Amino acid sequence: MTENFEEIYQAAKKQVKAHLSTHRYEHCLRVSDYAVKLAKQNNLDEQQAALAGLVHDYAKERSEADFLEKIDEAKLPKSLKAWGNPIWHGVVGAEFVKDELGIEDPEILQAIRLHTTGGLHDEMTTLDKVVFMADYLEEGRHFPGVKEARAITEKSLDRGVFYQLSHTLAFLADKGQVIYPKTFDAYNDWANYLK
C-alpha cells in the first residue's frame, strides 16, 4: 500500500474509537485482524485488508438523520431512504469514511459498501470477500456454525461467501424480516455460480 501505512492506520483507529461504543470498536479491531489472516491465505495486500476491516463499521452508530442527510449530499439513490441502519451503515457508511477519514481507495470503499449484503460473484473482489467474511468470522463471533464457517472459508473463500449468504438469508427470513434485494441477488448469483 504506502510507506506511511502505520500512520494512516493509527489515525483511522483513533477516529473509529471516537465514533463507536467500546464493544463495536473492539469488533472492528478483531475484523481487522481476521481480514489480515484471510488476506495472507488469499494472496491479498495485508495492509489494505487491515484498514478496510478496521473501518468497515465506522458509521454504524450514526443517527437516522445523519444517514438521510448523507444520502442527499452524496447524491445516492433516494430509494435508499426506505431502508435503515443495517443497509445504510455499509452503502452510505462508505461516504462517511471517505469524507471524514479521508480514505479514498476505491477498493476499500467498495468493500465497505458490500460488507453487509455481499454482491454478485463477478462484482466481488478478493478484498470484498475478505472483509465480508472477516466481519462474519472474527474471533468474537460465537453463533452456531461459526466453526464450520471458518473451516469452509479456510479451504475456499468463495464457499465461505456462499455459506454466509445462505445462512444470513435463512436467518432473516426465519425472523420475518424485510430482505434487501441485493441480498437475494447475491444469493441467487452465487448459488448458480457454485452449483
Give the footprint of ligand GDP on this chain (CB under 6 A).
Answer: 57, 60, 86, 90, 115-117, 135, 168, 172, 177-180, 183
Side chain identity, residue 70 = K
Answer with the entry of Fe ion, ligand GDP, none that 183 interacts with (C-beta below 5 to 8 A by kind): ligand GDP
Q: How far apart are CA 89 and CA 85, in angstroms?
A: 6
Binding pattern to Fe ion, positions 45-84, x when CB under 5 A? ------------x---------------------------
Answer with the entry of Fe ion, ligand GDP, none that 8 interacts with (C-beta below 5 to 8 A by kind): none
Rounded least distance, CB 43 to ligand GDP, Å: 24
Helix 22-41 × helix 46-55 angle, to 10°:
160
Q: Please say which residue, 43 or 61, places its beta carbon nearer to ligand GDP.
A: 61
- Sole binder of Fe ion in the list 95, 128, 135, 189 (CB under 5 A): 135
Q: Please say which residue, 110 or 117, places its beta carbon nearer to ligand GDP.
A: 117
Q: What is the distance of C-alpha 124 from the center of its chain?
A: 12
1: helix, strand or coil = coil
Q: Please say which residue, 30 or 121, places its beta carbon nearer to ligand GDP.
A: 30
Rounded least distance, CB 89 to ligand GDP, Å: 6
Q: How far apart are CA 78 and CA 83, in angstroms?
A: 10
C-beta of residue 52 within 8 angstroms of C-beta of residue 132: no
The candidate with the shortest Cα–Cα distance to 90, out of 33, 131, 49, 123, is 131
Sign of CA dihedral 72, 18, 13, 54: negative
